[in-house]
Amino acid sequence: MSTQQPPPGPGGDPDRGPGRPPDEAGLPHAPPPSGPYGAPYGNNPYGDASGAADPLAGMPPLAPLGRRLLARIIDALLIGIPVTLLLWPLAGGYDFDDRGGGGSYTHQAVVLLVYFVYEALMLSARGQTVGKMAMRIRVAMLENGAVPQGNPAWYRAAVYSLPQLVPCLGFVFWLVNVLSCTWDKPYRQCVHDKAARTVVVTAA
């Protein structure tokens, strides 16, 4: 009495089905690993097809959102108050009944431009503004944790500040930008973080 063997696969090996080439050990290839979204690196949006590790591995924890907010408030006061005091005598005092809004817009534009340059220079130099130093947080490149020197610092500062120069729509963009870190996963990035590929982490 003989048992019937399954038909041989390519090359005469009965242990492989048709169309399944062997690996180096002579066994069928295992199916590729799959994450929850079909990618081998799971929900790591900055990994690659080889299954790169989470970029935050070995980096400090992400900064709490409350400390990020307080850092922005400190920086806004640090820039806004001196710029306003300097502009006051140059403008001959502000007309608080300025119905055309020209003086108010000019004041806001100057503050935003100064804030933009201030933030870009500080982040490029050390990854921190004065507000971030006070709150013990810093901006880091997502790729390697380095200080965002040069273009990333300027991109980040520009996306935060400059859209606010556009009347009405600029405020809407700014609001969405600053709130986006509350729902972004997994790195709590605002739009300006995504533009520069940065994250905000705690600082020693």
Which contiguous run of DSSP H or E holds residue 200? strand 198-202
Q: CA neighbours within 13 Å on the CB side: how many for 200?
A: 29
Judged against a pLDDT cut of 80, whether residue 94 lies above it is answered with: no
Q: Is the pLDDT of residue 14 over 70?
A: no
- Residue 18 in this model has a pLDDT that exceeds 90: no
Identify whether the C-beta of residue 170 lies closer than 8 Å to the C-beta of residue 145: no
Q: How large is the average pLDDT for residues 184-188?
A: 95
At residue 30, the pLDDT reads 45
Q: Which residue has the tokens 């799959």?
A: 34
The answer to whether position 25 is within a domain reads no
pLDDT of residue 96: 47
Considering only CA atoms, which of 60, 55, 189, 198 is closest in space to residue 140? 198
User: In Å, how far from its chain's centre is CA 89?
Assistant: 39
Domain membership of residue 27 (yes or no) is: no
Report the SS3 class of residue 5. Answer: coil
Q: How confident is the model at residue 20 (pLDDT cuts 50, 70, 90)?
A: very low
- Residue 22: the pLDDT is 47
Give a yes or no: residue 130 inside a domain: yes
Q: Comparing 27 with 136, which gets the higher pLDDT?
A: 136
Which amino acid is present at 81? I
- Spell 108-141 as b/e; 16+ CB within 10 A means b: beebbebbbebbbebbbeebbbebbbebebbbbb
Instruction: Please say if the pLDDT value at position 23 is more than 80.
Output: no
CB atoms closer than 10 angstroms to residue 174: 19
Are 202 and 63 a contacting pair, CB within 8 Å? yes
Helices within the chain (DSSP H only)? 65-90, 102-126, 130-134, 151-161, 169-179, 191-196
- Asked whether residue 12 is assigned to any structural domain, the reply reads no
In a domain, residue 145? The reply is: yes
- Count of alpha carbons within 13 Å of 114, Cβ hemisphere only? 18
The answer to whether residue 82 is domain-embedded is yes
Query: Using 50, 70 and 90 to split pLDDT, how confident is the model at 101?
Result: low
Q: Using the predicted structure, report yes or no on whether residue 99 has a pLDDT greater than 80.
A: no
Q: Which domain does 109 fall in, by range?
A: 65-202
In one-letter notation, the amino acid at residue 126 is R
15 within a domain of the structure (yes/no): no
Confidence of residue 59 (pLDDT cuts 50, 70, 90): confident
- Domain assignment present for residue 55? The answer is no
Q: What is the pLDDT of residue 92?
A: 58
Higher pLDDT, 3 or 169: 169
The string of pLDDT tens digits covering residues 125-173 is 999 999 999 999 999 999 999 999 999 999 999 999 999 999 999 999 9
Q: Is the pLDDT of residue 3 over 60?
A: no
Non-local CB neighbours of 91 within 8 Å, separated by 6+ positions: 103, 106, 107
Please give the tally of structural domains in the chain: 1
Residue 47: its pLDDT value, please?
47
